[in-house]
Structure 1
Amino acid sequence: MPIDWLQARRAVYQAGLNAPLPTVKVLLEESDGLVLAEPLATLTDLPAFPTSSVDGYAVRATGPWRVIGRVLAGGEAPSLTDDGTAMEIATGAMVPVGTTAIVRTEESSRTGDLVDGQPRRVPEWREPGEEARAGEELFPSGTRVNPGMIGLAASCGYDSIHVKRAPRVALLVFGDELLTQGLPSSGRVRDALGPALPSYLKRMGADCVRVIAPIEDTLDAHVEALQQAMEADVVCTTGGTMHGPVDHLHPALNSLGAEYIVNTVAIRPGYPMMVSRLKSGTFVAGLPGNPQSAVVALMSLVSPLLAGLTGAPEPELSQVTLGGPVPGRGDYTHLALVRREEQTWVPASHVGSSMLRGLAGSHGFAVIPPHGHGLPGQQVDFLELP
């Protein structure tokens, strides 16, 4: 009996949480796209010392002021100890102790070593800890690192951070009918998933460490390929998820003692998707062989599984407004390809489960729940393609 789509996503996410990947320490420049293994907290006040927001003069007391020096960004500022003195200052430079105001260059006049002007009422410098105090948590564990976070961590003094190792994924493409180069002919078709799925997986934060394609449609070949891929955290397979004469995935998993987490999902397209776990601890995600169905399965089950393994939050659905009707699929959740046009999302064309044209021009899937349908102007859940 197929499991509800949302329940299936929760089940594989929880399975991932129960099998966390190891924590590794990486240089900041290598951390983009990885997931924090511990909270990112400031190592110092940010900024660590008062810094000027403008080019001008740091002054003490009332003017006119006698300029006694200059402080530039990157230098340590001497103190202003006497009233009526000033120090030329650059944006980002350390504000001298004893400064009572900063006069902007464009709002001052200077003759020789004397400068005069009117300070603004609001201080023209950043106070220590204005952005964050030492020890303050900036991002919790489970947050995926982005370039802005890398820059922030560097500004706090980090050289490296602790993250979850990227999931290692192997891809096994089953099918005697598949060609890996040249034009389709003589009953054989080009393998579209072997070239495409590694890029999807990379955008989902995984390392695709092995691709074996095509694998012949025999039980022995299926078992051998699964055994070769066991060094991966997750093995994604394409095709063979049904019970036809050349569908050997389930018998291969049974021979290896796999335990099913999800076995068929009440979703269209792609319902014969599944996730199991081998005795070695490797997860196997069985994706249907039809290209669009395979991507539906990837987004439905592999995405939450990878999130769980890294401790990232369970992937959430957003909401979009439909610009055209989307049919329901009875007892099944319908994932319908849509693309954005101005402020609405319209159903894509060429969306058969074996087609790629509609997928290539779409931004994600409108989620139509069981026994429902989508109408123009209606808000529905949305699953974005990576």
Structure 2
Amino acid sequence: MTVRPTVTEAVDWAAARRIAAAAAPRPAAERVGLADALGRTLAAPLVTALDLPHYASSAMDGWAVRGPAPWRLIGPAGAPGAGEPGLGIGIGEAQRIVTGGVVPRGADAVLRAEAGRVDRGTLEPVGEVGLRDVREGRHIRLGGSEARAGDRLLEAGTPLTPPRIALAAATGADVIEVVRRPRVAVVLTGDEVVESGVPGPGRVRDSFRVALPAALRALGAEVVGVARVPDDAAATRAAMTSADADLVVSTGGTGRSDADHVRAALADLGADLLVPSVAIRPGGPTLLARIADRLVLGLPGNPLAAMLGLLAVGGPLLHAWSGAGPADAAAGQVRAGTALDGGSGVTALVPAVLGPDGSAVPTGYHGAGMLRGLAGAEVVLVVPPDGVGAGDAVTTLRLPWAG
């Protein structure tokens, strides 16, 4: 089906998000080194190849002991202790050991260094701490106490944090299978835009070249290029297909005037218009289309409208594409700190802050061309067309750059 530029139907908020999530291709996998895995999503379960710990180890510097005190110290003076599995000690014997050292076979406990005293080759516990170390069999980390070989430690779809990467390393992994990030080309339109300095009358400063790629990365994309094109139909059409990308994200030109070329370019390319526009404010002209080998997410030219359109439609698209789960997994709920008006038949997206009691209050400065309200926001409130009352629950969107 080709685009019909005269299509005016706006898709409601929930339907647009479902369509966007369903449009995402099945997540593909790639293998990366652990040093490059932070923030990536597991494509397959993490299964440990060995017991964790894979040997009985000491949790303290001190002595491995067997039987009641006193103990005869064996091994060279100052030796780190049983360094090879299978070596043992007899009743009444002790061997020096360091944290992480292999506990000798037969040991009952590890007596910590500060709770023992050696006199002429004989070790005795000191004080109640030393007696309890021995009596309670302390400071031995038993092999397999955390996991057994073959256990699934993390499931596919889990985002990789520093502790999870450390866990993968503990299993002996050097590389890990993660979801490949969608490659995104950013296309910025507009003859009136200047990219540096203070703009003059009739000109505006570029708000997107740095901010939009950063937002896309926060949503899990790999940005492969940023291009600016003039308000020209041929240039716009060429930019949609020239980059080696899975997804093209454009800004501006999604209106229906003679100066807006994104819809006409998509029509010329035989696109399937999945979401012609969205019943939200701001951000209504946001569209989602499919051409031969990629998707196109068209965002409005106004800064706030574009960023909220990205969250509204690009959020569930990239969330599903990353294998991270349901489209609305990043949505939550808070209590409205004040009454919020609806959007006259559309869903209102309202940047907000959270008060000391956890309720949400709009930030102000919500015009489609304004960024001040979003810059100070902690969440975006999703206000249905009929509004919400003070104290009522309201859906929120997490800001991906807020952590």
* TM value normalised by structure 1: 0.93
Q: For residue 225 of structure 1, what is the amino acid of its counterpart?
A: A
Q: Which residue of structure 1 aligns with residue 215 of structure 2?
A: 200
SS in 1 for 2:210: helix
Give the Cα separation in 1 of the matches to 2:86 and 2:42.
40
Q: Which residue of structure 1 aligns with residue 309 of structure 2?
A: 297
Q: Which residue of structure 2 aligns with residue 168 of structure 1?
A: 183
Give the Cα separation in 2 of the matches to 1:350 and 1:338.
11
Q: How does 1:103-252 map to 2 (within 5 A)?
A: 103-117=111-125, 118=131, 119-213=134-228, 215-229=229-243, 231-252=244-265
Could you list the per-position Cα deviations for residues 298-344 of structure 1 after superposition, in whole angstroms to 9, with x for gaps in the alignment?
A: 11111221222232212421222333333221322221101234333
Runs of 4+ in 1 over 4 A off after TM superposition: none
Q: Which residue of structure 2 aligns with residue 349 of structure 1?
A: 364
The CA deviation at 1:276 is 0.9
Q: Which residue of structure 1 aligns with residue 5 of structure 2?
A: none
RMSD between superposed Cα atoms in Å: 1.9
Using the TM superposition, name which of 316-325 and 43-52 deviates more: 316-325
Q: Which residue of structure 2 aligns with residue 337 of structure 1?
A: 351
Contact 2:81–2:95 (CA under 8 A) maintained in structure 1? no
The one of 244, 248, 259 equivalent to 2:272 is 259
Give the Cα separation in 1 of the matches to 2:33 and 2:100.
26
The CA deviation at 1:374 is 4.4
Q: For residue 181 of structure 1, what is the amino acid of its counterpart?
A: S
Contact 1:43–1:156 (CA under 8 A) maintained in structure 2? yes
- Change in Cα spacing, 1:42 to 1:242, as seen in structure 2 (3 Å) is same
Q: For residue 268 of structure 1, what is the amino acid of its counterpart?
A: R
The CA deviation at 1:122 is 5.0
Give the Cα separation in 1 of the matches to 2:33 and 2:108.
41
SS in 1 for 2:209: helix
Contact 1:325–1:347 (CA under 8 A) maintained in structure 2? no
Using the TM superposition, name which of 365-374 and 66-75 deviates more: 66-75
Give the Cα separation in 2 of the matches to 1:334 and 1:75.
65
Q: Which residue of structure 2 aligns with residue 76 of structure 1?
A: 84
Contact 1:66–1:114 (CA under 8 A) maintained in structure 2? yes
Contact 1:319–1:379 (CA under 8 A) maintained in structure 2? yes
Contact 1:73–1:92 (CA under 8 A) maintained in structure 2? no
- Work out the percentage of aligned pairs sharing the same amino acid: 40
Q: Which residue of structure 2 aligns with residue 363 of structure 1?
A: 378
Give the Cα separation in 1 of the matches to 2:80 and 2:336.
55
Contact 1:73–1:91 (CA under 8 A) maintained in structure 2? no
- Change in Cα spacing, 1:104 to 1:94, as seen in structure 2 (3 Å) is same
Give the Cα separation in 2 of the matches to 1:130 and 1:71.
27
Contact 1:71–1:94 (CA under 8 A) maintained in structure 2? no
The one of 36, 39, 45 equivalent to 1:39 is 45
SS in 2 for 1:193: coil
The CA deviation at 1:378 is 3.4
Q: For residue 189 of structure 2, what is the amino acid of its counterpart?
A: F
- The answer for unaligned runs of 5 or more in structure 1 is none
Give the Cα separation in 2 of the matches to 1:367 and 1:68.
70
Could you list the per-position Cα deviations for residues 251-271 of structure 1 after superposition, in whole angstroms to 9, with x for gaps in the alignment?
A: 110111111222211211111
Q: Which residue of structure 2 aligns with residue 55 of structure 1?
A: 61
Could you list the per-position Cα deviations for residues 176-199 of structure 1 after superposition, in whole angstroms to 9, with x for gaps in the alignment?
A: 111112211131111101221011
Contact 1:169–1:234 (CA under 8 A) maintained in structure 2? yes
Give the Cα separation in 2 of the matches to 1:26 and 1:147.
15
Q: For residue 304 of structure 2, what is the amino acid of its counterpart?
A: Q
SS in 1 for 2:320: helix
Give the Cα separation in 2 of the matches to 1:2 and 1:278.
20
Q: Which residue of structure 2 aligns with residue 25 of structure 1?
A: 31
Aligned residues: 380
* TM value normalised by structure 2: 0.89
Using the TM superposition, name which of 316-325 and 85-94 deviates more: 316-325
- Change in Cα spacing, 1:337 to 1:122, as seen in structure 2 (3 Å) is farther
Could you list the per-position Cα deviations for residues 234-284 of structure 1 after superposition, in whole angstroms to 9, with x for gaps in the alignment?
A: 10011111211211111110111111222211211111111111112x110
- The answer for unaligned runs of 5 or more in structure 2 is 1-8, 126-130
Matched, 1:309 2:317: no
Could you list the per-position Cα deviations for residues 177-236 of structure 1 after superposition, in whole angstroms to 9, with x for gaps in the alignment?
A: 1111221113111110122101111222211111112x221211211111213x111100
The one of 307, 316, 326 equivalent to 2:340 is 326
